């Protein structure tokens, strides 16, 4: 099992502040699964508007974070990194469920497992937990895409 620090995460995702949602990969099993985390702080720019007096991390960004963890799993499993010509993009999100809000001070743990990879489309079962309790779960599909100039 491999772990990745933030510098290695940056090598596997094209995202940067404020849209980078993965702080560290704690477990990685090539071709199988990944576990990653994000520390949620009050300093996140999203909390100035969502919601100023009761900050809650948006569900859509939790889904994005799960997809970023899945993308790292896909990239590392095939020995690739994002480039200026290729990205991994969302193809679909199914069965998304939100079980509890995420707030500043929480640490989100993302688990993603490869369900299948067929014709360049990857499907993952993904879950986000906080303090061992499910905050969100979904089936996520991504694919690589060539960027045209």
Catalytic residue among 12, 50, 53, 54: 50
**Can you give the residue ranges of every domain in the chain?**
6-146
State the pairing for strand pair 86-98/121-130: unpaired
pLDDT digits (tens, 9 = 90+) for 70-98: 999 998 998 877 777 877 788 999 999 99
Of 135, 139, 140, 122, nearest in space to 37 by CA = 135
According to CATH, the superfamily of the domain at 6-146 is Hotdog Thioesterase (3.10.129.10)
Q: Is 12 a catalytic residue?
A: no
pLDDT digits (tens, 9 = 90+) for 23-37: 999 999 999 999 999
Question: What global pTM score does this model have?
Answer: 0.94
């Amino acid at each position: 099992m491999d772990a990745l620090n933030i510098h290695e995460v940056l090598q596997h995702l094209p995202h940067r502040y404020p849209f980078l949602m993965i702080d560290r990969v704690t477990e990685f099993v090539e071709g199988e699964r990944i576990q990653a985390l994000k520390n949620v702080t009050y300093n996140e720019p999203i909390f100035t508007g969502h919601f100023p007096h009761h900050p809650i991390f948006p569900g859509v960004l939790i889904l994005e974070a799960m997809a970023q963890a899945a993308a790292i799993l896909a990239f590392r499993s095939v020995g690739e990194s994002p480039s200026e010509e290729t990205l991994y993009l969302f193809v679909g999100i199914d069965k998304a469920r939100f079980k509890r809000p995420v707030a500043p001070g929480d640490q989100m743990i993302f688990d993603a497992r490869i369900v299948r990879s067929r014709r360049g489309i990857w499907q993952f079962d993904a879950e986000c937990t906080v303090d061992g309790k499910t905050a969100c779960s979904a089936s996520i599909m991504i694919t690589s895409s060539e960027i045209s100039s």
